[in-house]
Every structure is written in structure tokens, then in C-alpha cells.
Amino acid sequence: MLLIGLTGSIATGKSTVSSLLSSPPYDLPIIDADLLARKVVEPGTAGYNAIVSYFGPTTPDLLVPSGPDMPENGPTGKGRPLNRPALGRRVFGDSPEVRKDRARLNSIVHPAVRKAMALAVLKAYAKGYRAVVLDIPLLFESQLDKFCGTVLVVGVKDPKVQMERLRARDPHLSQEDAENRVRSQGDVREKAERALERGEGRGCVVWNDGDKRELEEQVRRVFWQGVVEKYSPRWWAWFLWMCPPAAVVSALWNYWANLRVDRRWKEKKEAERAKL
């Protein structure tokens, strides 16, 4: 089974591509890291309790306010849901304090999300799917790209386009808040470069500076036909499903190859910084 790492940045069209791949003619299962991240911090979970314990004393509005439609102990009696805009203000930005808070939040959420993703991948393999999409905004930053057979980056070449789309989608964000959110997910053009560094068939980029029809055509021609159909044919997926030991060997080989790519990428960036 092919693991497809889908990533990008905020407001570049990653969710649109995820929706395309989950629909005909592709019909691939989507494992959405953002969705899982919400589930692992729902009231009553260990993640929720850890966040409230760490951020609660210094964030008075961390929880959704109680009122006629929100009981003091929440709808389920396990606590009021997290106030995501308030939590976002604590973790989006570049100051040392914000980076510390973001690292703490990630240390709570990421392990739980990885566990949930691993279980979802095993379920997809057991059901005989040809491929599964791991929809992860911070794919490279979390180092989960090492487990993927191929990586698809959805990007925009013009940063102004990305900012305009974000402000149009989330008009409640200030200019500063929008810029902080974009920076928190990294430069999508660097992610595109990093995907292509993996080599033909293992990394792919679709540019979403145009309309949805153009994006759909790129997904079909550049990614599906140019990568999946060419380098991971259906017969190979069936062989791996019928022979689990071969699937394990294939996964280990992919991981080893991706480690080499990661090492080469880091050496390249270190050489570029040394020239500055």
C-alpha cells in the first residue's frame, strides 16, 4: 500500500486536493492530521487535561465561555471545549515565549496523533486499499515524510495570493495574526523544493495559483498519472496486500531511502548557509 504524504501551507489548497483524492475516480481514504488533532484534545481526553493544566493558569479564556448553550461542565459533562482562537494566540508567532508554548502544545498533541494515524493506516491496509493519503500540514517538520512512499505538496508561487486567500477565508484574522499563521507552517516554496529533492516518483508539486479546474487537471495529470499510476501500479499494491512480509520489506526500504534524502537535504542547506 502506498503512503501518500499530502502537505502544503495554510490557504494553499491542500484541503481541496484532499477532497479531490477522496472522491471519484480516486476514492482514497484520507487520514487527516488536523481532524485527529481535534479528537485527541476533546474534553475528557488525556490531551485535553494536559493542555488545560499547562495553559489554563495563564490563559483565562482558554475554554469556551459557559452560557445558555454551554453548561459549565460542557455538553458531555467532561469539561468545556477548548477556545481555539485563544489557544492559537498563545502558539502562533516567533517570540521565544510563543515558540516555547508551541513546542509544549506539540509535545502533547503529536504523540497522540501519531498513534491514531498508525492505527488508521493499519485499518486501511487490512481493507486492501491501494493507497492512503496522510493529510499533514507539518509533514516535514514532524518528520513523518520518512514513512511516505511519495509526497505531494500543494503550493502557491506568489505569497500575496496565499495571504489574500487566508484573509478572505478567515476575515476575523488581523493582518498580524494571518502572517503569524502562515509563518507557523513554514515556507511552502521550500516544502516544494524539499519534495522534489526526493526524486522522480517520490516527490511531486502542484501549484495552485489558478482556479480549481486547473488544480484538478494538475492532480490528475501530474500526480495521479505521473506518479501513482507510473510508479505504484495496481498489481504492486495487490502483491503487497497478499504478501505482508513483502510490505514490511518495502516499508523499510522506503524509510531507509527517505533517511538518505533527508541527510542530503540537510547537507545542502548547511552548504547554502555557509556561503552566506
Specify whether the CB–CB gap between 56 and 62 falls below 8 A: yes
Same domain membership, residue 229 and residue 179: yes
For residues 104 and 163, membership in a common domain is answered with no
| pLDDT at residue 207 in the model | 95
Q: Is residue 40, in this structure, part of any structural domain at all?
A: yes
pLDDT at 263: 93
- Residue 173 shares a structural domain with residue 45: no
Last residue of a domain, one of 112, 141, 169: 112
β-bridge mates for residue 46, sequence order: none
The total number of structural domains in the chain stands at 2
Domain presence at residue 119: no
Domain-embedded: residue 64:
yes
Nearest to 46 by CA among 89, 79, 93, 69: 79
Does residue 25 sit in the same domain as residue 57? no
Domain-embedded: residue 6: yes
117 found inside a domain: no
Q: Look at residue 259 in the predicted model and tell me its pLDDT.
A: 95
Q: Are residues 81 and 102 in the same domain?
A: yes
Report the alpha-carbon distance of residue 145 to residue 259 in Å, rounded. 10
pLDDT of residue 264: 92
**Domain membership flag for residue 251:** yes
Question: In this structure, which long-range contacts are made by residues 248-254, counting pairs with CB atoms below 8 Å and at least 24 apart in sequence?
Answer: 251/147, 254/3, 254/147, 254/148, 254/149
Residue-wise burial string across 186-200, b where 16 or more C-beta atoms lie within 10 A, e elsewhere: bebbebbbbbeebee
Cross-strand pairs, 206: 154
Q: Judge residue 38's burial from the number of C-beta atoms within 10 Å of its C-beta, 0-12 exposed, 13-18 middle, 19 or more buried.
A: middle
Stated pTM of the model: 0.87
Task: Please say which residue of 58, 78, 112 terminates a domain.
Answer: 112
Residue 81: which domain range? 35-112
Are 99 and 186 contained in the same domain? Answer: no
In a domain, residue 152? The reply is yes
Q: Is residue 121 part of a domain?
A: no
Residues 70 and 145 in one domain: no
Are residues 24 and 104 located together in one domain of the fold?
no
Whether residues 78 and 154 share a domain: the answer is no
CATH number at residue 8: 3.40.50.300
Q: Using 70 as the pLDDT threshold, list the residues of the chain that sit under it.
A: none
Q: Do 136 and 213 belong to one domain?
A: yes
Q: Alpha-carbon distance 3 to 144, whole Å?
A: 11
Angle between helices 244-275 and 234-242 (to 10 degrees): 120
Task: Show the DSSP H helices in 23-158 as ranges.
Answer: 33-39, 46-55, 84-91, 96-126
Of 112, 141, 162, the residue that ends a domain is: 112
- 169 and 64, same domain (yes or no): no
Residues 25 and 39 in one domain: no
